[in-house]
A = this chain, B = another copy of it.
């Protein structure tokens, strides 16, 4: 097998210049993505059609030669495969019918993998179509983050509905999170068996949890997923991304067993170095620096390379790339990371 440097780094090796990929790199900032999306129809059609999903996953690899590709999908296909309704409307994000506490015991997991078969097929095709040196990353949402959408029925800035649900019905919440952890682990294992080299668990809303809730609603379910994935595939690195975890990033690797930790852009680099002493880190440029370009971009990239380049680092953004990002700024960033002279 050819060297996959992103995979090597995720397993603990230090490589400089570091491998790089961007969260949401298959996205609306790319004209070819917008064109494929237009042809596919709805967002879920794109996720569930292997031909389209493979195409958009490959687009940023062709254009930029990123060191890793991430499966194109959505974290909410998991509750969708559990029989919850899901639709995406332009401008309002995902919409679901909110789940009630008493419905949680009745969630039916039969048919889960059958419904996700197109995702596994996408992973299989990707592994055969990607360059040998490109690391293929599968993913799922963390149970807490997936639960916030299932409970509120939509996104919200502070996840007040899910926090309240967890306080009012802690047993129902634990049941839901444990169920999501089990099916998510099974989902990641199938992705690995279809060809994923590594997997990432996105806990986009872990940052809204208070001290006690963070332990039982974020750390425990993520640790449960990691444990099951490692039992089945000990060589496959798991990246945990507890966005907004703040001071709780320190120790998160040990508490969850994850191989690598994704850092959001608010993690200061001196703190990131402490976290890197515990293992591999991934991140963490502010996506708005990539929109701005110029000095803000080169200063931000330079600081990350300087502070974190001496240890195991997968260069990434601290959150998904935004639709407004100029493609020329992505190129400039890559030139700087790869130490090529400016174009």
A residues at B contact (CB < 8 Å)? 157, 160, 163-164, 167-168, 170, 207-214, 244-250, 265-271, 286, 288-289, 291-292, 294-297, 299-300, 303, 318, 322
CB-based contact A211/B268 at 8 Å: yes
Given contacts A157-B157, A268-B214, contact A292 B208 (CB under 8 A): no
Task: Name A250's closest neighbour in chain B (CB-CB).
Answer: B247
CB-based contact B247/A288 at 8 Å: no
Query: A18 to B214, alpha carbons, bound, how many Å?
Result: 26
CB-based contact B212/A288 at 8 Å: no
Q: State which of B210, B267, B288, B318 has its C-beta within 8 Å of the C-beta of A160.
A: B288
Task: Name A161's closest neighbour in chain B (CB-CB).
Answer: B288
CB-based contact A318/B268 at 8 Å: no
Task: Name A287's closest neighbour in chain B (CB-CB).
Answer: B160
CB-based contact A296/B167 at 8 Å: yes
> In the complex, which residues of chain B have a beta carbon less than 8 angstroms from the beta carbon of A266?
207-211, 214, 244, 246
> In the complex, which residues of chain B have a beta carbon less than 8 angstroms from the beta carbon of A286?
163, 167, 210, 213
CB-based contact B299/A211 at 8 Å: no
21 contacts between A and B (CB under 8 A): A164-B292, A167-B288, A167-B289, A167-B291, A167-B292, A168-B292, A168-B294, A170-B296, A210-B266, A210-B286, A210-B289, A211-B271, A212-B299, A212-B300, A214-B268, A244-B244, A244-B246, A246-B247, A247-B249, A247-B268, A248-B268
> In the complex, which residues of chain B have a beta carbon less than 8 angstroms from the beta carbon of A292?
164, 167-168
> In the complex, which residues of chain B have a beta carbon less than 8 angstroms from the beta carbon of A294?
168
